[in-house]
Amino acid sequence: MKILVTGAAGQLGRDVVALFEQQSFAVLPCDRKSLDITDSDACLKRVEEFRPDVIIHCAAYTAVDQAETDINLAYEVNAVGTRNLVVAAEEVGAKFGYISTDYVFDGQSTKGYHEYDNTNPQSIYGKSKRAGEVLVQSLSSAYFIVRTSWVYGLHGNNFVKTMLRLGQDKQILNVVDDQKGSPTYTVDLAKFLLELVQTEKYGIYHASNSGECTWYEFAKAIFAEAGSISNKEYNVQVIPCTSEEFPRPAPRPANSVMEHLSIRTNGLQDMRHWREGLKAFLQEYLVNGSD
């Protein structure tokens, strides 16, 4: 099977490329230098040359706050770029995997969101990613839309690395306790994608590590697990605070918890608990190191 991966230099994309290569798939990694997804001709040319069986579209505009003023570019990447790749995928009969986000919901539900709940994005980032979903649903004849949340991994910047860095320098950290969700380790998400794209069980999926927590609870767990793994005591006090105390340009969903209805109803392997994923990440990051 031949796999084309966009966003291959990113946090998720690098783990997707590595895992699929380990499984002896022919993988074409594409980053922003090697493929401008906003160029429809370039997308078609690259896809027709490689003729993948599957395109896994990890590339995205993800600067959530900056998107509020950089509206054109957010839509150009997340909507137009996605359309260009879907059209190219259809030309060669490739399955299309689109990585989406919890930000397509407004976060006001008292329960976890399942795949067929109504979307209502509140930020430009969320609206542009939802626009990408609509284009995938409209134009692809064989698609997987995979919504995920609170992603972290060995490559690039993320909340876990930020907490560990701040924990070295600060005695007190204020962390938001009124937003809840499900942290997702990129390696676990890549394993789910590996299973999913080899099926014909098309549709929308919610894929995060199972369980839920607030950012405050996540931060506490990070220091507890990191201390246990490294035999190091983090002398940092984590204090819960409200979102209002840290105003941001883009609204964040208060509830990002996603139900894995499609995983269950399609008989697929659900992802492990977020705390287990965190332990695995920290073991790799703190013991073996990473960029």
CATH number, position 38: 3.40.50.720
The residue assigned the tokens 């190091």 is 232
Question: Which positions are annotated as active-site residues?
Answer: 125
Specify if 232 maps to a domain.
no
- Domain of residue 115 covers 2-158+182-211+257-273
Specify if 146 maps to a domain.
yes
Cβ atoms 152, 228 nearer than 8 A: no
Q: Would you write out the chain's pLDDT as a tens digit for each of its 291 residues?
A: 999 999 999 999 999 999 999 999 999 999 999 999 999 999 999 999 999 999 999 999 999 999 999 999 999 999 999 999 999 999 999 999 999 999 999 999 999 999 999 999 999 999 999 999 999 999 999 999 999 999 999 998 999 999 999 998 899 999 999 999 999 999 999 999 999 999 999 999 999 999 999 999 999 999 999 999 988 888 899 999 999 998 899 999 999 999 999 999 999 999 999 999 999 999 999 987 655
Specify if 102 maps to a domain.
yes
Specify if 289 maps to a domain.
no
What is the identity of the amino acid at 165?
A: R
Q: From CA 114, how far away is CA 136, in angstroms rounded? A: 19
Confidence (pLDDT) at 225: 95
Specify if 280 maps to a domain.
no
Q: Which of 184, 244, 173 is nearest to 209 (CA)?
A: 184
Specify if 246 maps to a domain.
no
Q: From CA 105, how far away is CA 126, in angstroms rounded? A: 8
Cβ atoms 16, 58 nearer than 8 A: yes
Specify if 54 maps to a domain.
yes
Domain count, the chain: 1
Cβ atoms 53, 94 nearer than 8 A: yes
Cβ atoms 185, 153 nearer than 8 A: yes
The SS3 of residue 43 is helix
CB-based burial label for 33 (10 Å; 0-12, 13-18, 19+): exposed
Q: Encoding tokens for residue 58? A: 């990890």
Confidence (pLDDT) at 290: 58
Specify if 86 maps to a domain.
yes
